[in-house]
Amino acid sequence: MDKKKEAILRESEIGVRPEEVSVPSVTPLQTAFLTAHRKSRRIVTFLRVFLLILFLAVWELCSDFDVIDAFFFSSPSRVALEFLTLLREKNLLTHIGITLYETLLSFLLVFLISMICATILWYSTRLSEILEPYLVVLNSLPKSALAPLLIVWLGTGMNTIIVAGISVALFGAIISLYTGFRQVDEEKIRLIQTLGGSRRDSLFKVVLPGSIPIILSTMKVNIGLALVGVIIGEFLAARRGLGYLIIYGSQVFSRVA
């Protein structure tokens, strides 16, 4: 009886019986759109996998029929066998883990430093006008040429490798984020100021939310650049990591054949 009373009371409060509540129906146009979207995603996924398989197949055939020199270019099957051999030796996963750790740490530091610097430049127009040419010059420097200097300044070790990863991605990230902040609609910022908002309110309520696409795209680019910088650092200043394995293999002329 108590449950029946509760149901009656709920019905009287809402004014509608539960069975009378209508669930929004999906229109045929929406169904067609969802179907087309899923089909498009499947086609894209299939083509991605197909291109990878096609590339590996062409590589294998060219190697087998001596179109390319297998001594220098090897083949997918030989690479896979060598990969399994390295896995059995239990050294490869250690080197991969070290490189991933250095890359992720470099990437996180690049993200934090670039966000802070881009925010400061957005806050101060005068400072951005002064520093922008220097950022462009620093971003255009060949980062691989800085690696020997980093070894002289910091010595060999993980710190040098992380700084190398940061140096490759940092200045481009600052420029991209600052440019994204400046492209936010000025009318929205003016509206915040008209309503009594501060510069800080404009940053957190307009600029940062409006810059999420550029932030995400910059992060996607930076993770790859950080990996490149870490590998460059490992070429010169490491005894562990994938970069060390690459340079060691080239020095002893280790090949997959």
Q: Report whether CATH 1.10.3720.10 matches the domain 90-251.
A: yes
Cα distance between residue 76 and residue 101, in whole Å = 27
Run of H or E residues at 109:
helix 92-123
Q: Is 141 helix (H, G, I), strand (E, B) or coil?
A: coil
| Exposure of 66 in the CB half-sphere (CA atoms within 13 A) | 0
The phi-psi region of residue 90 (left if phi > 0; otherwise alpha if psi is between -120 and 50; otherwise beta) is left
Query: What average pLDDT is seen over the chain?
Result: 83
Run of H or E residues at 239:
none
pLDDT at 22: 53
Question: In the predicted model, what is the mean pLDDT of residues 8-19?
Answer: 50
pLDDT at 205: 85
Q: Which among 248, 237, 225 has a CA at the least distance from the CA of 148? A: 237
Question: In the predicted model, what is the mean pLDDT of residues 79-99?
Answer: 83
Question: In the predicted model, what is the mean pLDDT of residues 202-212?
Answer: 87
Of 256 and 108, the one with more pLDDT? 108
3-state helix, strand, coil split of the chain in percent (to 5) is 80, 0, 20
Domain ranges of the chain: 28-81, 90-251
Of 69 and 122, the one with more pLDDT? 122
The residues, any chain, with a CB within 8 Å of residue 33's CB and separated by 6 or more, are none
pLDDT at 244: 82
pLDDT at 4: 53
Q: Tell me: the pLDDT tens digits for 154-176?
A: 777 788 889 989 999 999 999 99
110 pLDDT exceeds 80?
Answer: yes
Q: Tell me: the pLDDT tens digits for 122-141?
A: 988 889 889 988 998 888 88
Q: DSSP string of 150-168?
A: HHHHH-SSHHHHHHHHHHH
Four-residue CA torsion sign, 41, 46, 51, 53: positive
Question: In the predicted model, what is the mean pLDDT of residues 48-73?
Answer: 90
Cα distance between residue 140 and residue 146, in whole Å = 12
pLDDT at 116: 95
257 pLDDT exceeds 50?
Answer: no
